[in-house]
Amino acid sequence: MATPSLHSLTGVPPAPGAGPGTGPGVGTGSRRSGRAGGPSASVPPHAGPDRGGLPAETLAAPAPGYWQEAWRRLRKNPLAMAGLVVIILMVVAAAVGPALSPYGYEEQVLAEANQPPSAAHWFGTDHLGRDIFTRVLWGARISLAVGIMASLIGLTIGVTYGAISGFYGGMVDNVMMRIIDVIYGLPFILYVVLLMVVMGPGLDNVFIALGAVYWTGMARIVRGEVLSLKQREFVLAARVMGVPPWRVVWRHLVPNAVGPILVTMTLLVPEAIFSEAFLSYLGLGVQAPIASWGVLAAEGNRALRAAPWALFFPAGFICITMLAFNFLGDGLRDALDPRLR
């Protein structure tokens, strides 16, 4: 008696090319691995349970954001990371260093004048017996404050000026850019010296003089970014929807130019620090007894023969800080450049 086939019992027609004794869906044309009856090679080994007949899929990791990708590129730049570490150490030393020093920055011990570096005075003493290490830390507070405050003033003026110029364009842009061209006609330090002569020496006047001059570079950078961004679809859509111009500028244009703004501000800080040191060296900047690096360098230069270390250490800190900010600025420029994405 013939045994009924599985197809006749289930009512499922045999697969094309299936021979006798072949199970459902397993024909001569199907791919097999191993011996007959083994698992089919068409089934991936990692496939999990079905959800409604659909195979399970492996979820891809989300793409890193703009700032995460920029931070990853920045970490791969050894000079930029070295500059960042130096800046952090400098800020921490300026913040807590003077409080930990056993000497006051104005404390005079004439019996210990012009002492070379030693265990008691790490950077030696000046012509009045004051501890140079303590005065350098105090000078870091003043010089870093000048650099940061002047950059913030330049940031505020430059971003506003450049955004208005780039957004309105036309005659407004031409007039505003010609004003900047006139300012660029003379060296910036000459403008600063003239302003300090008019306003007089002092820390507050240094802030104002530097901030009033060093905004022009920021304005040009922001103007160029706004000119390239204001024709984008999201800006045109906002203007078509009736968004006020000031809101378009500050909510759509300026935030999308934050990368170049950050890089420019990072490079402005060392310029302001050097300018303050130059002004103080000329006697037009910070005045004694306040100790900025420029004041210390001027005092050390007068005692160069008797105590060369009095000039070496403040001048060295100026150079190290300027290099650190420049390395960090160059690294940020490479990390935030959208063409590298």
- Return all residues near 21 (Cβ < 8 A) that are at least 6 apart: none
How would DSSP label each residue in 29-66? TS---SSTTS--TTS-TT----BTTBPP-PPPPPPP-H
The pLDDT, as a whole number, for residue 290 is: 79
Residue with tokens 């094309």: 16
| Beta carbons of 200 and 279 less than 8 angstroms apart | no
Distance of CA 300 to CAs 225, 303, 323, Å? 44, 5, 22
Tokens 């390239």: give the residue.
228
Instruction: Report DSSP state, residue 290.
Output: S
Q: What is the pLDDT of residue 14?
A: 54
Helix (H, G, I), strand (E, B) or coil at 87: helix
In degrees rounded to 5, what are phi and psi of residue 328? -65, -40
Backbone angles phi, psi at 106, to 5 degrees: -105, 0
pLDDT for the residue numbered 234: 87
Q: Are 210 and 197 in contact (CB under 8 A)?
A: no
CB-based contact 182:216 (threshold 8 Å): no
pLDDT score recorded for residue 224: 92
Cα–Cα dist 121/132, whole Å: 8
Contact (Cβ atoms closer than 8 angstroms) between residue 296 and residue 281: no
| Nearest 10 degrees: Cα torsion 312, 315, 316, 318 | 170
Query: How high is the pLDDT of residue 201?
Result: 83
* Tokens standing for residue 86: 């130096």
- CB of 220 closer than 8 Å to CB of 162: yes
Question: Tokens for 259?
Answer: 């990368």
pLDDT at residue number 227: 92
Q: pLDDT value at position 115?
A: 86
Q: 85-104+125-340 domain in CATH 1.10.3720.10?
A: yes
Residue with tokens 């045109």: 236
Low-confidence residues in the chain, pLDDT < 50: 1-2, 6-7, 9-10, 12, 15-51, 54, 56-61, 340-341
Tell me the pLDDT tens digit for each residue of 117-132: 888 888 988 888 889 9
- Check whether the bond before 289 is cis (ω within 30° of 0): yes
Chain segment 31-52, per-residue pLDDT in tens: 444 444 444 444 444 444 444 5
The pLDDT of residue 47 is 47
Task: Give the pLDDT of residue 35.
Answer: 43
What's the per-residue H, E or C state across 110-173?
HHHCCCCCCCCCCCCECCCCCEHHHHHHHHHHHHHHHHHHHHHHHHHHHHHHHHHHHHHCHHHH
Global pTM?
0.74
What is the three-class DSSP state of 74? helix
Among residues 229, 236, 307, 324, the alpha carbon closest in space to that of 273 is found at 324
The H helix count followed by the E strand count for the chain is: 13, 0
Q: Which residues contact 95 (CB under 8 A, 6 or more apart)?
A: 141
